A = this chain, B = another copy of it.
Amino acid sequence: MASLGNVMVGQSGGPTSVINSSLVGVYKTAKDNGCKIVYGMRNGIEGLLHERYVDLSKYIRNDLDIELLKRTPSSFLGTCRYKLPSADDAPEVYERLFHILKKLDVKYFFYIGGNDSMDTIMQLSNYANKIGSDIRFMGVPKTIDNDLAVTDHTPGYGSAAKYIAAAMKEIIRDAKTYPTDSITVVEIMGRNAGWLTAAAALSKSEDCAGPDLIYLPERVFDHDKFLKKIQELKKYNTAVIVAVSEGVKTEDGKYVCEANKTNIITDSFGHKSLGGTALYLSDFLTENTGIKSRGIVFSTLQRCASHLVSRRDITEAFTAGADAVIAALNGETGKMIIFKRISNAPYSIITDSYDINLIANEEKCVPDEWIINDGTYVSKEFDEYARPLIIGELSPFMVDGLPRHLFIDK
């Protein structure tokens, strides 16, 4: 096979349990199709600008490493939250990047990430177009938030949803074992999109009643209505369990958690650092009902609990990476791999590639009609959509009682 040039792949934004499966998909498919060197940028585009990259074949040495990497949470290559300035504002950054890529004979560039990472791919591919570069830039979707536009869902979501639903079942079983009154408020990630919080509803099954209330950021949060709902539920229930998004906001547009904080940290993309919603609300409930309340925060565990991934998610993450390589080899650029759902039952999807300009910086929220009960639960349609995404397991490789991970030695 004639050499096709080299590959550069990076991971960006918040990691997931399956982001390395997409990396494996890129690596293996590129190698299988004759690409010579697959470089991995350390800490995404930020690292690449400092010429920090590795030859991935030095770290993925055999098929066991490939399987181990699929079972490794967080970004194997390291991640970043670097916002690429526009080419008009900082042409020197683009010149530097393209100089590095040319020096390494890179012809294919893959970036595994969420909304902000797709913005990076968009800017790079548009720049390449402008200067007549033949380097192809492809986005591989990744985010536990499931908020990327156009695609049916996003690799990373299924595993986070599975973790949330499984942990909710366990928390509910724990809370209901006591004969004494209690309220449990569970805080779930997701900023402006309620997909992850909605996944708490998946815990509802023959052997579990599910949470009593689910509050998504798509609807305005009203403290009085919330308190009233809780008081109603307390009439017939010893233990009440609430799932709430970290991103719920009151009518004035303020995050509920802001009420609790003196200063809120903002990242380079202008996103506020959220958190504290569950503790704030459980204190609010204790004060107003006198009932013992507990706030539970899944925190980073929902994006890194690779010991409990969805097999389907792992497989689809791999596919997204693999298909991005195939598309690039076929001459495509400036696109992201998307999933289109053919049917819920039996579950069937196809993949496609889609213009990155129509995806980047768009946010996909939970459809209005899927939010029911006056904004306190999600519908059967959500269950039919999300349930297939959490099916199947991939057992960790256990060493000395713990899941083994693949790692880059310093």
Interface residues of A (CB under 8 A from B): 15, 43, 46-47, 72-75, 78-81, 162, 165-167, 169-171, 173-180, 202-203, 205-208, 265, 273, 275-276, 279, 292, 294, 296-297, 299-301, 303-308, 310, 387, 390-393, 395, 398-407
Contact = CB atoms under 8 A, between A and B. Distances in A.
Contacts of A72: 173
A402 B74 contact: no
Nearest to A395: B395
A308 B294 CA distance: 23
Total copies of the chain:
2
B300 A174 contact: yes
Most interface-central of A46, A279, A406 (chain B CB within 10 A):
A279
B174 A15 contact: yes
Most interface-central of A273, A276, A303, A393 (chain B CB within 10 A):
A393
18 contacts: A43-B178, A74-B177, A78-B177, A169-B402, A170-B304, A170-B307, A171-B301, A173-B405, A202-B402, A203-B402, A273-B292, A275-B294, A279-B279, A296-B300, A297-B297, A297-B299, A301-B301, A390-B402
A149 B279 CA distance: 34
Given A171-B301, A205-B400, A207-B407, 19 more contacts: A15-B177, A73-B170, A78-B178, A80-B178, A80-B179, A162-B401, A166-B307, A169-B405, A170-B304, A171-B300, A173-B405, A174-B300, A202-B401, A205-B402, A265-B292, A275-B294, A296-B297, A307-B308, A390-B401
Most interface-central of A205, A303, A402 (chain B CB within 10 A):
A402
A301 B81 contact: no
B303 A174 contact: yes
A259 to B, nearest CB: 15
B304 A174 contact: yes
Contact of A166 (B166, B176, B180, B402): B402
A386 to B, nearest CB: 10
B179 A74 contact: no
A73 B172 CA distance: 10
A306 to B, nearest CB: 6
A173 B387 CA distance: 28
A81 B178 contact: yes
Contacts of A180: 81
Contact of A400 (B15, B43, B279, B391): B391
A407 B72 CA distance: 34
A173 B401 contact: no
A305 B75 contact: no
A60 to B, nearest CB: 15
Given A170-B73, A300-B171, A391 B395 contact: no
A392 B400 CA distance: 8
Contacts of A179: 43, 46-47, 78-80
A84 to B, nearest CB: 15
A210 to B, nearest CB: 11
Most interface-central of A208, A294, A301, A406 (chain B CB within 10 A):
A301
A406 B301 contact: no
